[in-house]
Amino acid sequence: MFAEVTVRSMFSRPCYLPLHVMCVFEVYISLSCAFCRHGKRVEKLKMLFGLAVNEAKLTSQRTRLKNQNGFHLCRLSREVYTFVSPSRMSGSLLNMFSKGTKRKFSDGGEEISEEGLVGARVASSYSLQRQSLLDMSLIKLQLCHMLVEPNLCRSVLIANTVRQIQEEMTHDGSWHMVTEAFCNAGQSPSERLVATEVLCRSREQDAEPKVFSVISYEGCREEEVVADETLCSVSVRDTVSNVYLAGRMGQCWEKNELSGIERDEEVLEDSRLGSGEDEEINTEDEASTEGPKTIGQVFGTFEIKNGSPGPDSALEELFSDVDTSYYDLDTMLTGMQSAPKMGPYDLLDSLGPSHGSPSIVSTPNCRSDLNELDHIMEIIVGS
């Protein structure tokens, strides 16, 4: 009786993403045997992720299990886990997600302070909470009930919230900075968006809220990709520290946190981006006048905090016993549940008139796109 753990990573090289991005490993644990005991599952997880904690309770929905790289494993729902980078574990996010696991924040808190994220622990900065809200909304969109058709009204409201946040980020200029930095300036627009297209299925050339067309009500995969796109775009913040600033001061999350936010945010961004160990991060406050950085530089500035031999090898090690070619979402989930996982609007859209965008609902498309994704990531990362 053995629990086979299948891990499917959204990014093949997640370590190259900056820490303040939520690195998304969606770990689907499919039990090959129906009678696998709870204890065995825990053991397997411990073995896989090098857990030191022996009271890892899979019973609580928001368990935090740390692996050796300092990523926290958050359990989002039954059999769906997500790695969350420590910098993401801001107070607000923890408060939102944890019911009764607040005490564990002290673990995360230590980590954060080690990285010099003293400011992050304040956790009440507008942009941080905005980002947390965005992440939470994306998770809500993805996790839909499989048996019954999900509530369309709720999904629409969440999607609108996501759009609103992303529009605001665009206004802030953070979005543009992000997409510019993401690709070389020399590339033609179409090339520039190759990566994003594969990742995000966005066909528009500008990085305006149009990228939110991927918040489509089609296949689940697109919504996952939305997460990718959002996260990776937002993440590549270059070394400009002031991207969170700008016009949105008026719309503060909670009014009592408005005071002195500007200064704090700059400190916050600096410390977060660099993880405290990267001297390339400059702390200039003005808008960056530097040219866009190369992908390698951008990604290179963001290493995994622990200073392990290479983020690559650490993760390789992590997933060495895992079948990473298992990309097919449908097949994987079919092993888990009877109904194929569909996004909230996938089924609805299948009834509607077909429109221009190709919808990835069939298996081969899914797989090929994910392979393409992998390929693109390799190019970008220059491994």
Judged by the rule CB under 8 A, the positions of this chain that interact with other proteins are 31, 34-38, 41, 58-61, 78, 96-97, 129-130, 133, 136, 140, 145-149, 151-154, 156-157, 159-161, 163-165, 213, 215-218, 251, 253-254, 337-340, 345, 347-353, 355-357
Please report, for residues 55, 56, 72, 94, 323, the alpha-carbon distance to residue 52 in angstroms, rounded to integers and kept in the order given: 9, 9, 12, 21, 24
Nearest distance from C-beta of residue 357 to other proteins, angstroms: 7
As measured in angstroms, the least distance from the Cβ of 12 to other proteins is 28
Least spacing, CB of residue 62 vs other proteins, in Å: 11
Q: What is the CA radius of gyration of the chain?
A: 20
* Contact by Cβ (8 Å): 294, 334: no
CB of 133 to other proteins, least distance (A): 6
Q: How far is the CB of 330 from other proteins (least distance, A)?
A: 12
Asked if 207 and 179 touch (Cβ cutoff 8 Å), the reply is yes
Which amino acid is residue 224, in one-letter code? E
CB closer to other proteins out of 135 and 303: 135
- Which residue lies nearer to other proteins by CB, 154 or 375? 154
Q: Judged by CB, which is closer to other proteins: 71, or 217?
A: 217
Q: How far is the CB of 92 from other proteins (least distance, A)?
A: 8
Q: Which of 271, 256, 267, 273 is nearest to 178 (CA)?
A: 273
Q: Which is nearer to other proteins, 118 or 152 (CB)?
A: 152
How far, rounded to the nearest angstrom, does the alpha carbon of residue 1 sit from its chain's CA centroid? 33
Q: In sequence order, what are the residues at sequence separation of 6 or more whose Cβ sits closer than 8 angstroms to the Cβ of residue 110?
A: none
Q: Which residues contact 218 (CB under 8 A, 6 or more apart)?
A: 343, 345, 346, 349, 357, 359, 360, 361
Residue 167 Cβ vs other proteins, minimum distance, rounded to whole Å:
11
Residue (29 or 295) nearer to other proteins, CB? 29
- Strands 64-66 and 72-77 come out as antiparallel
- Closest approach, Cβ 381 to other proteins, in A, equals 30
324 vs 357 by CB, closer to other proteins: 357
**H-assigned helices in 19-125:** 38-49, 91-97, 105-114, 118-122
Cα 311 to chain centroid distance, Å, stands at 17
Which C-beta is closer to other proteins: that of 5 or that of 236? 5
Residue number, 11 or 97, with CB nearest to other proteins = 97
Partners of residue 81 on adjacent β-strands: 27, 75
Report d(CA 113, CA 236) in Å as an integer. 22
